[in-house]
């Protein structure tokens, strides 16, 4: 079951971006739902606008392929806890108007690795049937430059009403994640875990084989790292320094999408996401930017290309919540 799930995540990441636009990924999720007995809801571009999902809409507005927000739900009759999973699903990331160089763009089909992990984990959870309720969100968009793309200095209103000044359109993942994180609160989860290929700074800090775990609760962070270890994945705990929040101040919005200083970019991205977590809600953030896609040679059972990073960790985390009843 786990091997099949990891294979699904790898296949999705490896699919050419021209063959996996947001609607395509949402379609795969719907098929997984039908096959696995998961309840699946998809919000299209019109529903996203009407619902006030300004982050996903803003990122997706530059593309001819409109964005989607996918919700998958698994329920167990004996469950006493609810886990919410949120995955970043940028099906291709050009950087938008803050355009990436070619050398940084040719593997950006992998920028939906977080959504792939969440979708694959949801399928495995549905098959393994742990006694815990799990909801999964895929925040799906394509980040492209065009005459309709968002601009640096635009201000977006994300789901829930907070405003974000977009200083760099290549810091787009955190915008779509903000919408999905706020929406996930409506499921009254005991724990929210997000998974994202979020920052290049993650590769600088931890390389290509170890993903980062940040959380607003030390015990939660330790639990996620332990789940990764038990699942055979390499994860490392990282802090969320409160002093980095000031660098995200904006004179025209509640928060800016990038910090005024370049240092600690992985951590400041986590601090940004924390802004959209309500007080008292336990949350962890996994930055899998490096481990999600192997640009080098195969090693061990890790192939070249998509790896399925974090899939097994999410499944193990769900099982551990069920076992703790």
From the candidates 75, 81, 100, 282, which is the catalytic residue? 100
Say if strands 163-166 and 255-256 run parallel, antiparallel, or are unpaired: parallel
Region of 252 on the Ramachandran plot (φ > 0 left; ψ -120 to 50 alpha; else beta):
alpha
3-state secondary structure 244-289: HHHHHCCCCCCEECCCCCCCCHHHHHHHHHHCCCCCCCCEEEEECC
Which among 286, 273, 274 is positioned nearest to 213, based on CA atoms? 286
Contact 168, 199 (CB under 8 A): no
Instruction: Please identify which of the residues 10, 68, 71, 174 carries the catalytic annotation.
Output: 174
Measure CA 8 to chain center: 17
Annotation marks residue 100 as catalytic:
yes
**C-alpha 163, offset from chain centre:** 20
| Structural contact between residues 253 and 165, judged by C-beta atoms closer than 8 angstroms | yes
Instruction: Check: CB of residue 117 under 8 Å from CB of residue 168.
Output: no
The three-class DSSP label of residue 106 is coil
Backbone angles phi, psi at 200, to 5 degrees: -65, -25
What backbone phi and psi angles, to 5 degrees, belong to 254? -65, -30
Which residues form the catalytic set? 100, 174
């Amino acid at each position: 079951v786990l091997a099949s799930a990891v294979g699904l995540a790898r296949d999705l990441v490896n699919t050419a971006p021209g063959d996996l636009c947001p609607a395509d990924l949402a379609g795969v999720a719907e098929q997984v739902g039908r096959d696995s007995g998961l309840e699946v809801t998809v919000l299209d571009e019109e529903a996203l606008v009407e619902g006030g999902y300004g982050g996903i809409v803003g990122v997706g507005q530059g593309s001819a392929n409109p964005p989607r927000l996918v919700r998958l739900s698994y329920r167990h009759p004996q469950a006493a806890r609810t886990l919410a999973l949120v995955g970043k699903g940028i099906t291709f990331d050009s950087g938008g108007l803050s355009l990436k160089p070619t050398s940084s763009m040719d593997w950006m089909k992998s920028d939906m690795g977080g959504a792939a992990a969440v979708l694959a984990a949801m399928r495995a959870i549905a098959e393994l049937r742990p006694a815990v309720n799990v909801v999964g969100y895929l925040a799906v968009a394509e980040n492209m430059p065009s005459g309709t793309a968002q601009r640096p200095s635009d201000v977006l209103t994300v789901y829930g009403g907070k405003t974000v000044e977009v200083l760099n359109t290549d810091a787009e993942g955190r915008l779509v994640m903000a919408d999905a994180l706020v929406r996930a609160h409506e499921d009254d989860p005991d724990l929210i875990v997000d998974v994202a290929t979020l920052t290049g700074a993650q590769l600088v800090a931890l390389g290509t084989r170890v993903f980062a775990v940040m959380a607003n609760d030390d015990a939660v962070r330790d639990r996620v790292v332990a789940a990764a270890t038990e699942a055979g994945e390499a994860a490392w705990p990282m802090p969320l320094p409160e002093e980095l929040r000031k660098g995200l101040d904006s004179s025209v919005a509640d928060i800016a999408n990038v910090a005024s200083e370049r240092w600690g970019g992985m951590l400041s991205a986590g601090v940004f996401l924390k802004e959209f977590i309500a007080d008292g809600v336990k949350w962890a953030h996994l930055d899998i930017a490096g481990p999600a896609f192997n640009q080098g040679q195969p090693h061990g059972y890790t192939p070249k290309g998509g790896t399925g990073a974090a899939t097994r960790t999410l499944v193990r985390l769900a099982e551990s919540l069920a076992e703790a009843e």
